[in-house]
């Protein structure tokens, strides 16, 4: 009898907690989504329906041709192609170079390790605005203006990625490393065979952020290129806003199709966070 009551109470508490959890999460998600809902619905509104005192969430007549107009307002086909080439290359190279560096910082013992790490970290503390001009001059000297090289090479290493991967590598127990080395496994082989598979969520995170960062990068692209043929999507988005007004509907339409690829990438990658790698036997 008593046990049954307890059981019941326990179940009630559990259901209540669940319910509360869902309520909080869904409310949170709605708040997060609200600006988007407005963005996406505005993308199919007529211009006079957008900024009104009595908010109008949906257009009287959906203006699907906004997407067509937005697409044709700037050479978006070229911009998309460039954005893909640049973001994918940057993403691929960065994860390789950063994993190598992070491995050294996490697992090797070497002269000047802490100093170098601080030095790397220090570069994040300088605002990009003061490095822009010196970097521009470097690019001019290299003859890299208006080439993919200027848009890709400087971004193939980021301290952010190195630091993030280092943190993950550090949390993989050292005992394993030492055992593997004693067994004659080379350090590089260990990185490839053990570290990387175990750090999949971190690698995916690094790649995702790198891709997004590159995809949305604006000022750098604008400064390092002179012709539309080399530019990327964010440059196209500036077409719709000026000092004297904004073409909200076209801007929102363009922003919607500009973010679609990232959204797809996220949907593909987010499964990696569910795997919850069973690390049985790896604990220290």
Partner 1 sequence: MRLKKLFLLSLVLCLALSATALAQTQITFWHAMSGELGNAIDYLTEKFNAENPDIVVESIYQGRYGDLNTKLVASLSAGTTPTIAQVYENWTDAFFRHGVIAPLSHYMDLTEAEFNDYIEVFRGMNTWDGELYTIPYNKSNWVMFYNADLIPNPPETVEEFLQIAKEITEQTNGETRGFGIRPTLELFHAFLYVNGGDFLDADLNVTFNSPEGKEALELMIGMLEDGSALLIDGYENESFGDEMIAMYIGSSAGMPHVENSVGDKFQFKTAPIPRGKRPGAPFMGTNIALFNAATEEQRHAAGKFVKFLTNTENTVYFAIKTGYLPVTYSGLNSAEYQQFLADNPHKAAVANLDAFGYGYWQPTIAAWEEARSAIGMAVERVFLGEPIDLVLEEAQMMVEEAIEDMLSQRY
Partner 2 sequence: MLRIPAQMKTKKYWKETLEAYLYLLPAFTILGLFSFYPVVKSVYMSFFDWSLLRDTQYFVGWENYEKIIGDPVFRRAIMNTARYVIGYVPISIALGLIVAVLLNSKIRFRGPLRVAFFLPWVTSSVAISMVWRWIYNQHYGLLNMMLAGLANAVNTVVEFVSFGHLSEVWQFSNPNWLMEPQWTIINLVIIAVWQSLGYNMVIFLAGLQNIPHELYEAAEVDGASPWQSFWKITLPLISPTTFFISIISIIGAFKLFTEVYVLYTGRPGPVNSGMTIVYYVYRNAFERYRMGYASAAAYILFAIIFVFTLVQMRASKRRIHYGS
Q: In a 3-state reduction of DSSP, which class is residue 245?
A: strand
Among residues 90 and 230, whose Cβ is nearest to partner 2?
90
Nearer to partner 1, 6 or 226 (CB): 226
Query: How many H-runs (helices) and E-runs (strands) does the chain carry?
Result: 14, 2
* 133 is a contact residue toward partner 1 (CB under 8 A): yes
Report yes or no: 82 and 232 within 8 Å, Cβ to Cβ: yes
Angle between helices 65-73 and 248-269 (to 10 degrees): 90
**CB proximity list for 213: less than 8 A, separation 6 or greater:** 155, 158
- Of 93, 100, 132, 180, the residue at the interface with partner 1 (CB under 8 A) is 132
Q: Is 223 a binder of partner 1 (CB under 8 A)?
A: yes
- In angstroms, give the least distance from the CB of 100 to partner 2: 5
Q: Within 111-199, where are the H helices?
A: 113-123, 128-142, 148-152, 159-170, 174-182, 187-190, 196-198
- Give the count of beta carbons closer than 10 Å to the beta carbon of residue 56: 15
Q: Which does 222 bind (CB under 5 to 8 A by kind): partner 2, partner 1, none?
A: partner 1
- Report the distance separating Cα 54 and Cα 47, nearest Å: 15
- Indicate which of partner 1, partner 2, none lies near residue 32 (CB less than 5 to 8 Å, by partner kind): partner 2
Based on CB atoms, which residue is closest to partner 2, 112 or 184? Answer: 112
**Smallest gap, in angstroms, from Cβ of residue 21 to partner 2?**
6
Phi-psi region of 157 (alpha: psi -120 to 50; beta: other; left: phi over 0): beta
Query: What Å distances lie between residue 30 and 22, 110, 167, CA to CA?
Result: 12, 49, 33
Q: Which stretch binds partner 2 (CB under 8 A): 3-11, 58-66, 67-75, 148-156?
A: 148-156
The correct pick among 134, 183, 184, 227 for binding partner 2 (CB under 8 A) is 134
Span from 58-66, 68-76, 81-89, 117-125 in contact with partner 2 (CB under 8 A): 117-125
Please tell me whether residue 245 binds partner 2 under the rule CB under 8 A.
no
Instruction: Find the part of the chain contacting partner 2 (CB under 8 A) among 1-9, 58-66, 77-85, 115-123.
Output: 115-123
Q: Which residues bind partner 1 (CB under 8 A)?
A: 46-48, 50-53, 73-74, 132-133, 136-137, 140, 145, 219, 222-223, 226-228, 235, 238-247
């Amino acid at each position: 009898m008593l046990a049954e009551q307890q059981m019941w109470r326990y179940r009630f508490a559990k259901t209540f907690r669940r319910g509360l959890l869902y309520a909080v999460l869904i409310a949170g998600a709605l708040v997060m989504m609200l600006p988007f809902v407005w963005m996406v619905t505005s993308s199919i509104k007529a211009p006079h329906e957008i900024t009104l005192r009595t908010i109008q969430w949906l257009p009287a007549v959906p203006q699907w041709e906004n997407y067509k107009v937005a697409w044709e307002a700037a050479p978006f086909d070229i911009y998309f192609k460039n954005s893909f080439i640049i973001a994918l290359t940057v993403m691929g190279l960065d994860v390789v170079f950063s994993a190598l560096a992070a491995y050294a910082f996490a697992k090797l013992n070497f002269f000047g390790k802490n100093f170098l790490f601080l030095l790397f970290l220090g570069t994040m503390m300088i605002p990009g605005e003061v490095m822009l001009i010196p970097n521009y001059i470097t690019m001019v000297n290299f003859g890299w203006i208006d080439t993919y090289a200027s848009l890709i090479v400087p971004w193939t290493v980021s301290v952010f990625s190195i630091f993030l991967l280092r943190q993950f590598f550090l949390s993989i127990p050292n005992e394993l490393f030492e055992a593997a080395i004693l067994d004659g496994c080379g350090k590089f082989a260990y990185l490839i065979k053990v570290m990387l598979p175990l750090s999949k969520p971190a690698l995916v995170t690094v790649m995702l952020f790198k891709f997004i960062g590159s995809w949305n990068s604006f000022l750098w692209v604008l400064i390092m290129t002179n012709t539309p043929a080399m530019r990327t999507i964010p440059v196209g988005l500036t077409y719709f806003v000026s000092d004297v007004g904004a073409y909200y509907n076209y801007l929102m339409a363009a922003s919607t199709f500009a973010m679609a690829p990232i959204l797809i990438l996220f949907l593909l990658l987010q499964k990696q966070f569910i795997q919850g790698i069973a690390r049985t036997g790896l604990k220290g």
